[in-house]
Amino acid sequence: MIRLGILGSGFGSNMQAILDAIQNGELEAEIVIVLSDVPDAYILKRAERAGLPSGVIDCRGLSSKFPEEAQRETADILSQAGVELICLAGFMRLLRPPLLSAFPGRIINIHPSLLPNFPGLCAWTQAVEAGAHESGCTVHYVDAGMDTGTIIAQASVPVLPDDTPDRLHARIQEEEHKLYPAAIAQIAVKLERE
């Protein structure tokens, strides 16, 4: 059974989807730790409610950067928890070494667009504003770039003529909640064979 570490900055709906898939028997995995860079993020409340170990990443008061020292500490915490795969769930900071180096090929993210289209923030708004006919979500490996890692899986949704960013985002999230646990299951099988 693969041991997951979840990193998130916000509401934690994808963490909840992973937890639900585990509890429903759809995903053979265990969430061993949940970490957030935002002390009052709802993802930490979800973790506490589920009885999952959790903690706050100390980013030294920086609002968007992820200091090297903080990344090293995070890598240590995840290693000590026995994490085998790190799942970013709305984590809003770019990863660099030493965290990437500590878990090579074992950090994944879910992004609310069909990458390489619309990387970065508010991808659903970008899609609506660009007049795209299709959007969706992508699970990908994390590298040092912004949403540039190798794609693992994608799911698409149509962009409707009367869509607002919020309506499109809600439909994308429905797909995210199915795609992410399925992609984790696929990776777990791969890692078992290695």
DSSP-derived secondary structure letter, 124? H
Q: Go through the chain and tell me how many residues it has.
A: 194
Of 111, 140, 169, 177, catalytic:
111
DSSP-derived secondary structure letter, 130? T
Nearest to 110 by CA among 83, 93, 85, 88: 88
Q: How far apart are CA 43 and CA 16, in angstroms?
A: 8
3-state secondary structure 137-177: EEEEECCCCCCCCCEEEEEEEECCCCCCHHHHHHHHHHHHH
Q: How far apart are CA 54 and CA 8, in angstroms?
A: 11
Q: Are strands 134-141 and 151-158 parallel, antiparallel or unpaired?
A: antiparallel
Active site residue 133: no
Contacts of 128 (CB under 8 A, 6+ apart): 159, 163, 164, 165, 168
Residues designated as active site: 111
